[in-house]
Amino acid sequence: MTKEELQAAVDAIPYFYHRIELPFGIVTPGWAPISAAAYRIPNNLAGKTVLDVGAWDGYWTFEAIKRGALRVTAIDNFSDTIGGKVNADRSRQWETFDLCRSALGFEYRENRAFWQNGRQGIRRANCDIQNVYDIDESAIDSYYSHVFMFGVLYHLRHPLMALENVRSLMTNDSVLHIETAILDGCPSRYTSHVYAGDECCLEFYPGAEYGDNPSNWYVGTLRAWVAMVQAAGFKNVESWRLTDTPQHISQCRGFIKASV
């Protein structure tokens, strides 16, 4: 594509979740990640296999390739439409992902022989991340050295079971990376209580109580999410917040790093 063609293709899409730097200085008009550095993803992923759960536009899939990952599998089920009045029509599914991947020049292959030849590349697959029960059926590798679950846990009906399924795809030297909505420093959706962060609890949202988004099911304190990760069998759990003084619901985010 020429610069004009790429810009026109980006402009034709009503909503991007991720802000992705493309050739010719073009940047997709997304807002996430708020701070890529806050995720603390290793700069060197040379030779690693990565599973990106809930990839959306593909920011972290492409970032893993840029950092040297050998194979990256991106999965999504397009269930999160953001909510509210945002025009996040996801019926076109992988359109934004494919546009960015093509513009960045990253190879996309379905053929298993391609991966076995040791060539760097990307695979994408539809997978029910609402449950993450069939994750192994869409996996190109038996095990992953790094699993990204960014903006996923609070969209799951059964987050503990999802974590257990993810763990089954990891080996002893694998690393789980999580970014999720948290209650720390934020008011309850139901009362005037503001969570200080020392509580171990989750709020359940049967409707669109959190972020005006019906696909948001649970949000917990960071301590509660850590306890759930540990209950799923993960070890060496580290956690930190995006900020201790969130000014908006979008800043009520926490991060977890854990190993098997």
User: According to DSSP H, which parts of 105-221 are helical?
Assistant: 112-116, 159-167
- pLDDT surpassing 70 at residue 134: no
pLDDT tens digit sequence for 77-126:
888 888 876 778 888 899 999 999 999 999 877 655 555 667 788 988 88
User: According to DSSP H, which parts of the chain are helical?
Assistant: 3-11, 59-66, 95-104, 112-116, 159-167, 222-231
Entry pTM = 0.94
- pLDDT surpassing 80 at residue 138: no
- pLDDT surpassing 70 at residue 207: yes
pLDDT tens digit sequence for 213-255:
999 999 999 999 999 999 999 999 999 999 999 999 999 999 9
Average pLDDT (118-144) is 72
The pLDDT-based confidence of 50 (bands split at 50, 70, 90) is very high
Q: What is the pLDDT of residue 112?
A: 59
123: phi then psi, degrees, rounded to nearest 5: -125, 145
Asked whether the beta carbons of 166 and 234 are under 8 A apart, the reply is no
Q: Nearest-CA neighbor of 52 among 157, 132, 110?
A: 132
Give all domains of the chain, ordered by start, each with its CATH number: 40-80+106-259 (3.40.50.150)
148: phi then psi, degrees, rounded to nearest 5: -100, 130
First-last CA distance in the chain: 43
Q: What is the pLDDT of residue 222?
A: 98
Q: What is the pLDDT of residue 91?
A: 86
